[in-house]
Structure 1
């Protein structure tokens, strides 16, 4: 089955998954500053609530019993809760953020500080309650770590869900794809049986494909039957025509002009006969109804060497053969012979007078090289039916098409190249 040439292939679900992951990554990246501000606000609100709660508990349980003589001892044992003299009464509590030197870590640390006024023995004092804060740098690192963990969970979750959906939703799609990949129109007498699905779009696709395959199969069968019938019906008239021409050629009273016309008719009839046989062969190749056995291509090539040497001598072509003793392959003998014949006929027909042909045969490949037109042949139509690279030749344009069909039937690879003034047809077994 032919494959479309693309720059880079990937599965549909992988493309969708990639889009989801890119979107999730960009979304999380965009929300990092928002998450940072939001978490910081929640954290500061929680710290502020703790400071207020600590002040309320101080006023409720400690302040009524506290004396001014106790303040020194209080400040000594309460590192983050200080009571200081003040001449100014704070009418409304307030909280602010400040930096204080921390002897434990030997650096300035951020603190959240609550300031309030209290009366101890009817004398005003300022209460300073502070709470150490996590630095913004640490906040940022923790948020990044959180984002990475979240992204990993999103990635794993998306992959697992996608695989689960792939098995459940796309099962019928892949089953039908396998049916199409194994369907061979030339071998199948009935249409492929597709699997149904609970997905409306898949069922519509299979319905369209079924209709398309039916129409293509019908057209193929009509075309094949027409070619077979036409070729069979032409056999008898062509044979009669050729026989009559041969009879006329035996008449001694023919003039030179009449003889020349009859020879042209005879040549045209021979070409028509070859065309008819080739069309029948192509029809049989399409049906793939050939038996295969072990064939020694080297023996097949050598057995016809005298004939090919005679053909080359007519154009003074130098024939050089490099062949291994054995090149045994599982193939149809008649088709292998036709393949070699067509390649050599093509090499002779499109060669120059005084040119050369090189044949290299071994267990893995067959190469037929010939001189000729000093430029590469366009490969778009090279192996198509009735494609002729040189309109001046007498071929019918089916030789290389038959070669391609035979290589496809045997799952061999054929290629063409133009190197060092040689046209090279290479078959990999």
Structure 2
């Protein structure tokens, strides 16, 4: 997964990283450049002193030495020039000091001389470190100032973008109020605002059209279905029909009921998608389950058993709570044998319902998909469990399915 970070933090990190790298590189460059300059100055002074000594000897002046700064000796042979560092004891400081030494051999007035010139090397490491520290300090102060200045300026420039982003987060298709976006002097942000306005208005118009279409279709389907149902009832009540015709008419009635149920469930799913269930109440789900069980028992479903370990209260819409329990019970009954027991257990923030099953589902991952049916033998719409899942998603409940010891087990965790 990609690690997420805010735009300002991301740009600030890049700015600080760049500043850190520049500070280090400039400090290293300053260190070696200054060190080279100091060494060149020392060597230039040594060559200057050596030239003066050579000029004095060339003028037949008296041979002299001033250890450890200048030493002149007569020698028998000429050797190559040597430029090096050396350490000499300084009695005034009572410590060893670093000197830069130039040792040359010259032939002057038909005599060979060994000329040694030394100069005390200033404690350049202290100077260099002071320069580097000063450089780092200046850079840090400059970058801190530029960082806060840049961050403040970026926040001001990006403010319309962030404001519009917050508006988009609160955008809802069900709200009638138009979205209010901030304009900006930045061309790209202004164009983005215009496109968002255009997009949200188009989406809202499409949503309203789709919502109206769904409601119209749902409403218009009810009338012809009711007319068909009435005509079939008239045929059964007013005309003599044989057994085969009766079976066909009965099959048509079942299809009509299935269409009515399908229409109702599609409408419910659409309303859930459109967040039209906004009436939240605290519901005693334990009592609701008991009422539902009594209703099913009146229809000869006497194998329902409810074990309540603790009263279960849930905050949700009353209609959706009724549909949630009704769909779970209908699904369990539909896929159970008549005499097999269906068990419901309610406890604190949890509902478990199980029914007998001969074998596990082949594709349990598809169980909550719309219009999915594991077997085409039953006449279900394939929307019951899809509605259950949609209701759970709406309120943040967690539903799960397992096959345990010849039982299909559905469990809902109501704790958010």
Task: State the TM-score, normalized to the length of structure 2.
Answer: 0.75
SS at match of 2:379: coil
Q: Distance in 2 between matches of 1:413 and 1:195?
A: 37
Shift of 1:255: 1.2
Aligned to 1:230: 217
Shift of 1:44: 1.2
Q: Distance in 1 between matches of 2:282 and 2:214?
A: 31
Shift of 1:397: 3.0
Aligned to 2:230: 243
1:412 equivalenced with 2:388 (yes/no): no
Shift of 1:23: 5.5
SS at match of 2:268: helix
1:40 equivalenced with 2:42 (yes/no): no
SS at match of 2:382: coil
Segments of structure 2 that go 5 or more residues without pairing to the other structure are 55-60
Aligned to 1:221: 208
Segments of structure 1 that go 5 or more residues without pairing to the other structure are 1-5, 60-65
1:397 equivalenced with 2:382 (yes/no): yes
1:164 equivalenced with 2:164 (yes/no): no
Moved more, 155-164 or 391-400: 155-164
1:300 equivalenced with 2:288 (yes/no): yes
Q: 1:208 aligns with which of 188, 195, 198?
A: 195
**Cα contact 1:55–1:129 (8 A) shared by 2:** no
Question: Any idea what the Cα deviations from partners look like across 1:164-192, whole Å, max 9, x if unmatched?
Answer: 2442122111111111111111x222441
Count of aligned positions: 402
Aligned to 1:131: 120
SS at match of 1:424: strand
Aligned to 1:173: 161
Q: Distance in 2 between matches of 1:107 and 1:309?
A: 108
Q: Distance in 1 between matches of 2:338 and 2:30?
A: 84
Task: State the TM-score, normalized to the length of structure 1.
Answer: 0.73
Question: Any idea what the Cα deviations from partners look like across 1:326-357, whole Å, max 9, x if unmatched?
Answer: 22333332221111111222333345677664
SS at match of 1:178: helix
Q: Call closer, same or farther: CA 1:197–1:278 in 2, change over 3 Å.
A: same
Shift of 1:238: 1.6
Question: Any idea what the Cα deviations from partners look like across 1:86-142, whole Å, max 9, x if unmatched?
Answer: 35999xxx88222335589999876422458999xxx98845222236698x99988
SS at match of 2:37: helix
**Cα contact 2:90–2:97 (8 A) shared by 1:** no
Aligned to 1:291: 279
RMSD: 4.7
Aligned to 2:58: none
Shift of 1:145: 7.1
Q: Call closer, same or farther: CA 1:385–1:191 in 2, change over 3 Å.
A: farther
Shift of 1:221: 0.9
Shift of 1:198: 1.8
